[in-house]
Chains A and B, each alone.
Chain A
C-alpha cells in the first residue's frame, strides 16, 4: 500500500473557528483554577515525588492529574505536559521527572479519576453530542488538557519559559491543540496523531476508536453533514496553522488505529518553520517509539534544557 505523503484531508477550517475558541477561552478564564496538590507516598520513590493534583476546568468540572517532580531540584525546572491516549489510563509521569522535568499528566473529563461529573464512556466519548460544537465532548476535554498549563504556571518550581508538550495517539491530538492554543508551549512532540481528518480517517481505516463515528452514522446517516461541521472545529488540522513552536511528529506507515495519511496532512498544515517529520516503515500505531523515544528526549533536551 502506497501512502500519499501529500494527502489532503477534506476538513475545511470554519470561518468562525477562532471566534469559537476565543469564546471558549473567555469562558474558562472566568473559572477559578483552585489547584490542590496531595503527595502520593505509594507512587513516590527514591528519585521522584508524585502528587495527585486536582483543578477546576470549564463548566466547573473538577479535573485530576498526576504531577511528578525530581527530588532535590536545583533551581527552576523545565516542565512537560504529558497528554493521554484515548483508551489508556493516563500514566504517572515518573520517567519525565527522573529526567529532570516537572511533569503533569492530566486526566481530562471522563477519564478514570475525572469521571464524577462527565462520563460518556468508551465507546461513547468520540460521538457524545457530535452534532453540537457547543456541547461536543472534546470542547471540555481539550480545555481540560490546556488547563494543565495554568497549573504549571501556578507552581513556583516551574520555569514558565520552558514548557513542552508530548503525547501519542489522542495524546498527539491534544499535544497539537495545546501547542496551538497555549503560547507558553515552547516545543511539542506529536506521535501518531488521532483526531485529525476525522471524516477521512473513518474511510481510510475501519477500526475502533474512529469506527465509533461510523457506528453513529450507521443509525443517523442523515446527520453526516452536521457531524462533519462539528468535527471541523475539533480537527487537529484546523489548529495546525496556529502552531509556531518547534515540532517533531512521527507516524507509523502501517498504523492500524490512526491512518498515516492524516498524520502527513497534519504535518503539512503545521505553520511552524521548525518542524521535522519522522516516518517509520514497518511500524503500526506505536509509530516506531522504540527508536523514537530517544529522539523525543533529545528534542526536549535541546529546546527546554539548552543541551546541544
Chain B
C-alpha cells in the first residue's frame, strides 16, 4: 500500500511559499570586527520572514575572490544561537561560507516572541494557523532564500546541517544539494513521543497529558511537518545521523522515512561517541563538498584520526 500525505498537505506548504514570496527579504548585513580575522569576515544579518517577522543570522565569509561551498546551519531547538556549532573547528570558516539562522523565538530573533525551551514546540498548538512551527518552517526556508542571494556562494554546493529542519528546507527548496541531519522530533512525532520522557519529544507528551482530548487534532497539525511526507521531495544527497539502535530515532525507526528520500542517502548509526559521530559527518561533508582528496577540517584532538 502506498502511503499518501494528508489532505491539505500541498496547499498548506504552497501557502507558506506564497506568503514568503510576498514578503521581501530586506536583508541588512553588518560587519562584526570582533569575530572577523584576516581569513574571514563575520556579519550579523537581519532578514524578514512571514508575519512579518525580523530574524537574525550570522554570516561568515572567507576572504577570497573564489566562490565557495556553503553550510547552512538551520535553526535548532534551543535558545542559544551560535556562529558555528559548539566544537566545530573554527577553520571551517576559512573554507566555507557559513550561515547560521536564529528562527523566531531563539536568542537574537526573540523580539517580540521569546520562546521557552522546553515550551517552543507546543506554542500555539491549538490550531494549524496559530502553531508556531509554521513560522519556524518559513524562517528556515527564508534563510536558504537569503543564502542563495549571496554572490560568494557556489550554488552547486549548498549543504543544510542540523536537526529536522535541514530535511524540511531540502524538501521545499532544491537549491539544497547536501543534507546532514539528526532528526529529533518531526518524524511520527506523537507516536514517538510516547516512548520517552526526554526532551524535546517529551514536550508533546507533556502537552497531551494535560490536554488528552486534543490528541487527534494535534496529530493532524503535526502531520504537516512529518518528515515521512517530506522525504520524497528531498533530492539532495543526505547523511542521516541516527540514534543508536536503543534510541528513539534509531536506524530501524528512521528507515520508514529515509528510504523514501529521493536523493542518495547515507545512514550513520550513532556510535555513542560525539567524537566518532562527528568525525564521520565531517569526513562525509568534506568528501561531498571539497572533494575526495581534501583533508577534513576538524578540531585539534581529532586530527590524528583523519
CB pair A122–B80 under 8 Å, yes or no, is yes
Q: Which A residues are in CB contact (< 8 Å) with B34?
A: 215-216, 218-219
Cα–Cα, bound, A43→B87 (Å): 31
CB pair B275–A89 under 8 Å, yes or no, is no
Which residues of chain A from 196 to 222 have a CB within 8 Å of any chain B CB? 204-209, 211, 214-216, 218-219
CB pair B305–A257 under 8 Å, yes or no, is no
CB pair B197–A285 under 8 Å, yes or no, is no
Which residues of chain A from 75 to 91 have a CB within 8 Å of any chain B CB? 86-89, 91
CB distance from A87 to the nearest CB of B (A): 4
Chain A residue at minimal CB-CB distance from B38? A218
Q: Which A residues are in CB contact (< 8 Å) with B300?
A: 1, 204-206, 256, 259
> Given A121-B107, A207-B89, A255 and B80 touching (CB < 8 A)?
no
Offer 6 A-B interface pairs, CB within 8 angstroms, sorted by A. Answer: A121-B107, A208-B82, A252-B273, A253-B301, A257-B87, A285-B274
Residue A286 interfacial (CB < 8 Å)? yes
B contact residues, total (Cβ < 8 Å): 42
Greatest chain A CB density within 10 A among B37, B82, B87, B210 is at: B87
Q: Which B residues are in CB contact (< 8 Å) with A253?
A: 301
Q: Mark B88-107, 1 if CB is under 8 A from A, else 0.
A: 11110000000000000001
CB distance from A131 to the nearest CB of B (A): 14
Residue B276 interfacial (CB < 8 Å)? yes
> Given A113-B116, A215-B35, A282-B275, A254 and B305 touching (CB < 8 A)?
yes
CB pair B80–A207 under 8 Å, yes or no, is no
Chain B residue at minimal CB-CB distance from A89? B117
Q: Mark A98-131, 1 if CB is under 8 A from B, else 0.
A: 0000000000000111000000011100000000
Which residues of chain A from 278 to 300 have a CB within 8 Å of any chain B CB? 282-286, 288, 290
Q: Mark B259-275, 1 if CB is under 8 A from A, else 0.
A: 00000000000001111
Interface SS of chain A: loop
Cα–Cα, bound, A123→B303 (Å): 25
Q: Which B residues are in CB contact (< 8 Å) with A43?
A: 118, 206
CB pair B82–A42 under 8 Å, yes or no, is no
Q: Which B residues are in CB contact (< 8 Å) with A6?
A: none
Q: Which B residues are in CB contact (< 8 Å) with A88?
A: 78, 80
Residue B84 interfacial (CB < 8 Å)? yes
Which residues of chain B from 260 to 306 have a CB within 8 Å of any chain A CB? 272-276, 278, 298-305
Q: Which A residues are in CB contact (< 8 Å) with B35?
A: 123, 215
Q: Mark B74-89, 1 if CB is under 8 A from A, else 0.
A: 0000111111101111
CB distance from A40 to the nearest CB of B (A): 9
Residue A167 interfacial (CB < 8 Å)? no
Cα–Cα, bound, A145→B115 (Å): 23
CB pair A284–B199 under 8 Å, yes or no, is no
Cα–Cα, bound, A255→B116 (Å): 29
> Given A41-B210, A206-B91, A286 and B299 touching (CB < 8 A)?
no
Q: Which B residues are in CB contact (< 8 Å) with A86?
A: 86
Contacting residue for B33 out of A111, A121, A219, A288, CB 8 A: A219
Residue B146 interfacial (CB < 8 Å)? no
Which residues of chain B from 195 to 245 have a CB within 8 Å of any chain A CB? 197, 199, 206-207, 209-210
Which residues of chain B from 149 to 187 have a CB within 8 Å of any chain A CB? none
Q: Which A residues are in CB contact (< 8 Å) with B84?
A: 208
> Given A92-B118, A208-B88, A215-B34, A87 and B78 touching (CB < 8 A)?
yes
Q: Which A residues are in CB contact (< 8 Å) with B116?
A: 112-113
CB pair B117–A112 under 8 Å, yes or no, is yes
Greatest chain A CB density within 10 A among B34, B82, B117, B304 is at: B34
Q: Which A residues are in CB contact (< 8 Å) with B206?
A: 42-43, 45
Residue A260 interfacial (CB < 8 Å)? yes
CB pair B107–A284 under 8 Å, yes or no, is no
Which residues of chain A from 163 to 197 have a CB within 8 Å of any chain B CB? none
> Given A112-B116, A122-B80, A290-B272, A254 and B86 touching (CB < 8 A)?
no
CB distance from A199 to the nearest CB of B (A): 16
Cα–Cα, bound, A28→B34 (Å): 34
> Given A89-B78, A252-B275, A45 and B303 touching (CB < 8 A)?
no
CB pair B197–A207 under 8 Å, yes or no, is no
Q: Which B residues are in CB contact (< 8 Å) with A147?
A: none
Q: Which B residues are in CB contact (< 8 Å) with A162?
A: none
Cα–Cα, bound, A211→B78 (Å): 21
Chain B residue at minimal CB-CB distance from A112? B79
Cα–Cα, bound, A65→B273 (Å): 30
CB distance from B215 to the nearest CB of A (A): 16
> Given A122-B81, A283-B275, A207 and B87 touching (CB < 8 A)?
yes
CB pair B86–A208 under 8 Å, yes or no, is yes
CB pair B197–A45 under 8 Å, yes or no, is yes
Q: Which A residues are in CB contact (< 8 Å) with B89?
A: 206-207, 256
CB distance from B94 to the nearest CB of A (A): 11
Cα–Cα, bound, A87→B300 (Å): 21
Cα–Cα, bound, A206→B207 (Å): 41
Cα–Cα, bound, A1→B87 (Å): 18
CB pair A259–B301 under 8 Å, yes or no, is yes
Cα–Cα, bound, A256→B279 (Å): 10
CB distance from A289 to the nearest CB of B (A): 9
